[in-house]
Copies of this chain bind each other. A is one copy, B any other.
Amino acid sequence: MSFYTSIKKDLNTKARRGVVHTAHGDIQSPFFMPVGTKATVKTLSQQDLHQIGAEIELSNTYHLYIRPGMEIIEAAGGLHKFMGWNKPILTDSGGYQVFSLSDWRKLTDDGVEFKSHVDGSRHFLSPEGVMDIQRSLGSDMVMPLDECSPHPCEYNDALGAVNRTSAWARRTKEHFYKTGMHERGQRLFSIVQGSAYKDLRERSARELLELDTDGYAIGGVSVGETVREMFEVLGWVVDMLPEEKPRYFMGIGMPDQIVKAVGMGIDMFDTVVPTRYGRYGTCFTDKGVVVIRNGAFKMDFTPLDPECDCFVCKNYSRAYIRHLFNTSEVLGLHLAAYHNVYYYVKLMRRIREAIDQGRYPEFQDNFLRAYSSDLA
């Protein structure tokens, strides 16, 4: 069985319906991956994720390597068993976290040496080491170590990052196959870098296409550039990617950005936005966000999102959830995060239905207009 099966292509946009096949089950695409950095999607249980209808969860190699550490996850029999999640898991390589969380790091062609953000202990991650960790984790989809350029970035630095990312991707693939990860049902992505430079993005994509990895990701986006610049990068790269493989726009994004990116041919999304915004009391609806601490909701006994059929919206009012936030009650974080993740997962279901029914252009236009999106 191939990794990706195409079901339908929209005739007027580049939106695609497909299925991604993994050792822990199929995932209908396009899809959203709730982010469980440390083996938990913040405030939600795995039972909540099943109830929400999430078909996959994303965790982070760097964080799990630091805590609880590989000895414990290996003893548990892998990440699925450790966290009690029997559906697919994708793991980030941790490269981004080494750059963003560590006080000190030393980057060489061999890999990256860094200090733990928890206890300051020194560690070294190489492209091969990151694969070894993900083999132990047993992730269904694994990401290679890459060098993510900051924004803005000088041309020569971005070129260096592209070269290193390609070289590391080659070593990654070799190690991935040599150690039997493919035979165990794990699937390898590569990550297109190149900052905001068209020729570098194209160069990165070309070099990685030669490697013929199972899927392709566009990385180094949403790192401080404007949304317009981000979609410009997507436009340069996405059409170069093979039709028969899943395409992952890393760390994106707001609901309107997801709708737009699907129309440009993206299949996979992840972002901490629904859980992080939820913890701050900002809740998503088709008409934009509801900031629940706002005094306007003091006596508002309607649901967070009157259009929503999640258990939060069926059982609780804005006034009650506002009270929970005002009194620092944990249930408030949970209800807001639950609704937001439900909103994202359901948005993907609505997107898939629109593509299935040949009405994606109309869905996209209506959605972006109702959301008052700049992308309309």
Residue ranges of A at the interface with B (Cβ–Cβ < 8 Å): 38-40, 42-47, 67-68, 71-72, 75-76, 81-84, 298-299, 301, 311, 315-317, 319-320, 322-324, 326-327, 329-331, 333-335
20 more CB-based (< 8 A) A-B contacts, given A75-B301, A82-B317? A38-B323, A38-B329, A40-B331, A42-B331, A46-B315, A67-B323, A67-B327, A68-B319, A68-B322, A71-B299, A75-B319, A76-B301, A76-B317, A81-B301, A82-B320, A83-B320, A330-B330, A330-B333, A330-B334, A334-B334
Whether A298 and B335, one on each chain, are in contact in the complex, defined by CB atoms closer than 8 angstroms, is no
* In the complex with contacts A311-B47, A324-B40, A326-B67, A72-B331 CB distance below 8 A: no
From A326, which residue of chain B is reached at the shortest CB distance? B67
Whether A330 and B42, one on each chain, are in contact in the complex, defined by CB atoms closer than 8 angstroms, is yes
7 A-B pairs with C-beta separation under 8 A: A38-B327, A38-B329, A72-B319, A76-B301, A76-B319, A82-B320, A330-B330
Q: Bound state CA distance, A40 and B316, in angstroms?
A: 12
Whether A45 and B84, one on each chain, are in contact in the complex, defined by CB atoms closer than 8 angstroms, is no
Q: Bound state CA distance, A331 and B84, in angstroms?
A: 13
Residues of B within 8 A of A326 (CB): 67-68
Residues of B within 8 A of A320 (CB): 39, 76, 82-84
Top 3 A-B pairs ranked by shortest CB distance? Answer: A68-B323, A43-B330, A84-B315
Residue in contact with A329 in the complex, picked from B42, B316, B322, CB distance below 8 Å: B42
Q: Bound state CA distance, A46 and B71, in angstroms?
A: 38
From A84, which residue of chain B is reached at the shortest CB distance? B315
Whether A335 and B42, one on each chain, are in contact in the complex, defined by CB atoms closer than 8 angstroms, is no
Q: Bound state CA distance, A130 and B299, in angstroms?
A: 23
* In the complex with contacts A75-B299, A299-B72, A43-B331 CB distance below 8 A: yes
Chain B proximity of A301: nearest CB distance (Å)? 6
Q: Bound state CA distance, A46 and B47, in angstroms?
A: 16
Q: Bound state CA distance, A81 and B39, in angstroms?
A: 36
Q: Bound state CA distance, A97 and B74, in angstroms?
A: 49
Residue in contact with A331 in the complex, picked from B44, B317, B331, CB distance below 8 Å: B44
Residues of B within 8 A of A43 (CB): 330-331, 334
Whether B72 and A298, one on each chain, are in contact in the complex, defined by CB atoms closer than 8 angstroms, is yes
Residues of B within 8 A of A83 (CB): 320
Chain B proximity of A1: nearest CB distance (Å)? 29
Q: Bound state CA distance, A320 and B80, in angstroms?
A: 11
Chain B proximity of A309: nearest CB distance (Å)? 15
Whether B329 and A40, one on each chain, are in contact in the complex, defined by CB atoms closer than 8 angstroms, is yes
Whether A45 and B324, one on each chain, are in contact in the complex, defined by CB atoms closer than 8 angstroms, is no
From A68, which residue of chain B is reached at the shortest CB distance? B323
Whether A319 and B82, one on each chain, are in contact in the complex, defined by CB atoms closer than 8 angstroms, is yes
Q: Bound state CA distance, A298 and B68, in angstroms?
A: 9
Residues of B within 8 A of A38 (CB): 323, 327, 329
Residues of B within 8 A of A82 (CB): 317, 319-320, 323
Q: Bound state CA distance, A42 and B333, in angstroms?
A: 12
From A279, which residue of chain B is reached at the shortest CB distance? B330
